Amino acid sequence: MKKQTTVSRILKSVCRQRSTFVFVILCTVLYSVLDLLLPILIGQAIDTLIGAGKVDFEALFVILAKIAIIITATACLQYFSSTLSNRISYNTVKEIRKEAFEHISNLPISYVDSHKQGDLVSRIVSDASVLSDGLIIIMTSFVPGIITIIGTLIFMLTLSPLTGAVVIVLTPLSILLANFISSRTHKMFKKSSGILGEETAYVNEMIVRQKVTDAFSNEDRSMKELEEIDDRYKKSNLLAIFFSSLVNPSTRFINSTIYAIAALIGSFSVIGGALTVGGLSSFLAYANQYGKPFNNITSVMSEMQSSIACAERLFEIIDEPSQSPDDSSETARDNGEVVFDHVYFSYVKDKPLIQDFDFSVYKGKHIALVGPTGCGKTTIINLLLRFYETDSGTIKLGDADITKMPRSDLRNNCTMVLQETWLKSGTIADNIRFGNNEATEEDVINAAKAACADSFIQRLPDKYNTVISNESGNLSEGERQLLCIARAMLHQSSILILDEATSSIDTRTEVLIGKAFDTLTSGRTSIIVAHRLSTIKNADAIIVMKAGIIIEKGNHEELISLGGLYAELYRSQFEK
């Protein structure tokens, strides 16, 4: 993404608050112009001091009154400008952050799966904050600086055309030097932001998996890996800051030289009578004001470059192609029938996974998917729910092609319990009610009882009002899974998908849950992914997969008598 495109997009976002932005610009122009009047008034005040004992006090008091009024008005305008600039900045970043966050939910699951979660979090949170700080600096320093430069040039040329021309001729040296250095720091800051995202992802990963790290005594190794990333970030960031920090002292040196030259020429003008002492004082004040914006602008160049780099990382998310749009030409047939018609799929091109998967699941039937790890069982579920799109072939709900119906309709017809538990921040009741927002308190309790979760919930300090989160350590993995099952109990749909739903539950509780599942699956189509073959012995049909291909299908007795892969897997679990 080109930097100019990024800047124009940021400006476009800022201009959405047009009225506030115009008022900020108006306040900025007014206080900048008023600030430019002060050197003239100070010069006039100096010229009232005619000599020893010769002071025009009447004129001096009038000038001092004007100075006081201008200083007061300038302070008020600066306050309004600064306050509103902060508001514009935060609102702009809020909209960009919101757009990026919303767009993530519209991206294909493959994008989220292929990116580190910590890096995405870093972009949405940290990079957006850096962009906000940069916008504030631009509006409070850059815009007033440009106005000051233009205004001081006009006044200097009016007071002393020759001296003003000398200043104008020498000024490009400062601009060219600042541009030369800052243009080379942009890539450095973008690289630095990328490494910071990598570090955020690593820290997040280590915190989430701290138990595993401790269990294998890998604390030292984790620290070394973190230090390696941190060292790269330090080197990258210090290099970017070093080069960007050269801008300020370099331009200050040039501007100070210009000021000295202007003072020398102006002094000869006073001696020659072309300029008064007050006029020289005003001119030098303008020359000083003229140099300050360059110093201020160049001093925040590093911040601006860092902000642009962070904005690019945010816009990279926004610019990612969304998942294919919903087709509403067909509606989901809520009859519980699922048809896989010669489906092919691969995560990586030239490496096929699902090959010619052809099978029908009839209403109310219980179908199990078994096979070695990596054979494509969970992938079938991902394709059914359109987390991924098939390469070829069709999947139908009833007689409706799932690619021709809204994803929300498709997924509302399915209830899913995953092997990996997910709980949101909130109360126990909120997490169960996530399956049906309209469920009453009685519905929530009944679902928990059906999922054998009520007994441990009653032992919690606040029972159903106990606050938990996905990272809560006060619940075991089995208890978290029971809450997920209770959540599924509340979601009434024609199709039930169980992906290793009881893998974290002890055998005794699994037996109890099995009875609950009998009630839950009654009259509903069930697709079960399981490694524990004892849980699927009563399935109407069992599909045995290997390397993405159906190699066996039938019920338990048929597959055992066949003596193939299923029989081998079953014997490995139940025979000594």
Q: Give the pLDDT confidence score for residue 209 in this predicted structure.
A: 63
The alpha carbon of 453 is separated from its chain's Cα centroid by a whole number of angstroms, namely 35
Alpha-carbon gap, residue 546 to 240, rounded angstroms? 52
415: DSSP letter:
E
Q: Give the pLDDT confidence score for residue 520 in this predicted structure.
A: 67
DSSP 265-311: HHHHHHHTTSS-HHHHHHHHHHHHHHHHHHHHHHHTHHHHHHHHHHH
Q: Give the pLDDT confidence score for residue 570 in this predicted structure.
A: 75
DSSP 110-179: HHHHTS-HHHHHHIIIIIHHHHHHHHHHIIIIIHHHHHHHHHHHHHHHHH-HHHHHHHHHHHHHHHHHHH
DSSP 552-566: EEE-HHHHHHHTSHH
Alpha-carbon gap, residue 293 to 152, rounded angstroms? 11
The residue to which tokens 């002393």 are assigned: 160
What is the phi/psi pair of residue 551, to 5°? -110, -20
Q: How far is CA 531 from CA 94, 361, 510, 537, 569, in A?
A: 46, 20, 14, 12, 9
> Along the 576 residues of the chain, how does pLDDT read in single tens digits?
455 587 777 777 777 777 888 888 888 888 878 877 777 777 777 777 665 556 667 777 888 888 888 888 888 888 888 888 888 888 888 888 888 888 877 777 777 777 777 777 777 777 777 777 777 777 777 777 777 777 777 777 777 777 777 777 776 676 676 667 666 676 777 777 778 777 777 776 666 666 566 555 666 777 777 778 778 888 777 777 777 777 667 777 777 777 777 777 777 766 766 667 676 677 777 777 776 676 666 556 667 777 777 787 888 788 777 777 666 666 655 567 888 888 888 887 778 888 888 888 888 888 888 887 778 888 888 888 888 888 888 888 877 888 888 877 777 788 887 777 777 778 888 888 887 777 888 888 888 888 788 888 888 888 888 887 766 567 777 778 788 888 888 877 778 888 776 666 667 666 666 666 776 677 778 888 877 776 777 788 888 888 888 888 888 888 888 888 878 877 776 664
Radius of gyration of the chain (CA): 35
Q: Give the pLDDT confidence score for residue 296 in this predicted structure.
A: 64
- Whether residue 503 contacts residue 432, with contact meaning beta carbons closer than 8 Å, is answered with no
Alpha-carbon gap, residue 505 to 57, rounded angstroms? 93
Q: Give the pLDDT confidence score for residue 328 in this predicted structure.
A: 66
| Cα 23–Cα 29–Cα 34 angle in degrees, nearest 5 | 125
Residue 545: left if φ>0, alpha if ψ -120 to 50, beta else—which one?
A: beta
What domains can you pick out in the chain, each with its CATH number?
Answer: 3-319 (1.20.1560.10), 338-574 (3.40.50.300)
Q: Give the pLDDT confidence score for residue 576 in this predicted structure.
A: 45
How many beta carbons lie within 10 A of that of residue 325, not counting itself?
A: 9
